[in-house]
Structure 1
Amino acid sequence: MPTHRPSQEKLTLISANVRGLQTNIGDLAHSFIIPHNPDIIAPVETFLNPTIPANFGHIQGYSRWLRRDRAHGTFGGIAVCFREGLAVEALELEMDRHFEMMFFRLWTSRHETILLCVCYRPQWQGNDTIHFLHTNIDTLLLQHNCNHLIVVGDMNQHLVARQFENLLTELANYTALTTM
């Protein structure tokens, strides 16, 4: 368990498809982060790549951006940052490199744990990401001793409606499932 303080009773989270974090970080900060003061910020389609410094866009009072830049080509990518002091652990999972997903474990003040998945499923990807979640969520929850699940991001679910509905049915027993 990390040495940070546990998360409070209520977590607030902002997830947004920003279509370019470098060009839209000002709007994200002024329209959403400053007025709402969230615990977790999870933009997708960041368009970041390894040439962008790790300290890019640091927001005072938050961790540095934890990123998963697109492996090949442009566009895509996800980033996450957390309010300083939030009890969170980044989880390193084995998955295909083309999956734009990141997983975290968070601790609540009641000593419960939350598995947070931030993902972007590009329109061209088919149902691989949904299949990965469908196949692995139970194992991940057990392996990391998590009581609750939050999934955020842009799944482009309208393009894989049947597979997405099957995933929702499978996950109906978990505390929270949120999609954009």
Structure 2
Amino acid sequence: MPTHRPSQEKLTLISANVRGLQTNIGDLTHSLIIPHNPDIIATVETFLNPIIPANFGHIQGYSRWLRRDRAHGTFGGIAVCFREGLAVEALEVEMDRHLEMMFFRLWTSRHETILLCVCYRPQWQGNDPIHFLHSSIDTLLLQHNCNHFIVVGDMNQHRVARQFENLLTEYGLNNHVNFPTHISGSSLDPVITDCQKK
């Protein structure tokens, strides 16, 4: 059951492709978390595995990292943590094991609920993750009684541009990242939502 923090008008979120949480957690903490004090920290390409202790990298004032380590092989992985007291619930969502996604339900001060999906789509997965979202959003929103939907992470959407645009169009979602997020000049790390940008 989630715990509640004092009312707030908005949620703040940092989404980062860390390419190794063990080696980059110091930079993430000092460059982004401490200066911006976000409510939610969502990371992909953590490269963590079950050998890494569950309490690894705990940040004062935040929950422990909730992780989805890659089941086989190296690289990949997702880790998310939340400011202590934030009203949040981790959701068990049935999906193919190779999909790297995590889902959470968040409560806002206006008593609205947000379905948050953190997704890493390696290029070898083709459009499987986007197809899963496309076919599951309505069911998940209804099942978990959520008013809004947010997807963050690294989706490498330039490789599946048509399917990605179809997802946005059909569900009335906006990608709030309209600038390069990769040294190549590509934008690979969207923040897509039906919520308004504040």
TM band (smaller chain): over 0.9
**Alpha-carbon shift at residue 176 of structure 1 (Å):** 7.5
**Alpha-carbon shift at residue 177 of structure 1 (Å):** 6.7
Q: Tell me the residue number matched to 2:165.
A: 165
Query: In the aligned structure 1, how far is the partner of 2:125 from the partner of 2:111?
Result: 37
Q: How does 1:1-150 map to 2 (within 5 A)?
A: 2-5=2-5, 8-150=8-150
Query: In the aligned structure 2, how far is the partner of 1:81 from the partner of 1:11?
Result: 14
**Secondary structure of the structure 1 residue equivalent to 2:167:** helix
- Partners of 1:148 and 1:175 within 8 A in 2: no
Alignment TM-score, normalising by the size of structure 1: 0.95
**Alpha-carbon shift at residue 70 of structure 1 (Å):** 0.5
Say if 1:167 and 1:175 are closer, same or farther in 2 by CA, change over 3 A: closer
For 1:17, the aligned partner's letter is N
Question: Over the residues paired in the alignment, what is the CA RMSD in angstroms?
Answer: 1.6
Percent same amino acid at aligned positions? 89
**Secondary structure of the structure 2 residue equivalent to 1:8:** coil
Structure 1 residue ranges (4+ consecutive) displaced by more than 2 angstroms after TM superposition: 1-7, 174-178
Alignment TM-score, normalising by the size of structure 2: 0.86
**Alpha-carbon shift at residue 6 of structure 1 (Å):** 6.1
Q: How many residues align?
A: 179
- Partners of 1:100 and 1:120 within 8 A in 2: yes
Query: In the aligned structure 2, how far is the partner of 1:7 from the partner of 1:167?
Result: 32
Q: Which runs of 5+ in 1 are unaligned?
A: none
Report the more deviating stretch, 137-146 or 3-12: 3-12
**Alpha-carbon shift at residue 170 of structure 1 (Å):** 1.7
Query: In the aligned structure 1, how far is the partner of 2:54 from the partner of 2:116?
Result: 22
Between 1 and 2, higher relative CO (CA 8 Å, sep ≥ 6) is seen in 1
**Secondary structure of the structure 1 residue equivalent to 2:124:** helix
**Secondary structure of the structure 2 residue equivalent to 1:160:** helix
Query: In the aligned structure 1, how far is the partner of 2:43 from the partner of 2:8?
Result: 22
Deviation per CA, 1:9-29: give whole Å up to 9, x if none: 110000010000000001100
Deviation per CA, 1:106-125: give whole Å up to 9, x if none: 00111110000001000111
**Alpha-carbon shift at residue 4 of structure 1 (Å):** 2.5
- Partners of 1:149 and 1:176 within 8 A in 2: no
Query: In the aligned structure 2, how far is the partner of 1:176 from the partner of 1:145?
Result: 23
Q: Tell me the residue number matched to 2:186.
A: none
Query: In the aligned structure 1, how far is the partner of 2:151 from the partner of 2:9?
Result: 19
Query: In the aligned structure 1, how far is the partner of 2:65 from the partner of 2:9?
Result: 24
Query: In the aligned structure 2, how far is the partner of 1:55 from the partner of 1:171?
Result: 37
- Partners of 1:171 and 1:177 within 8 A in 2: no
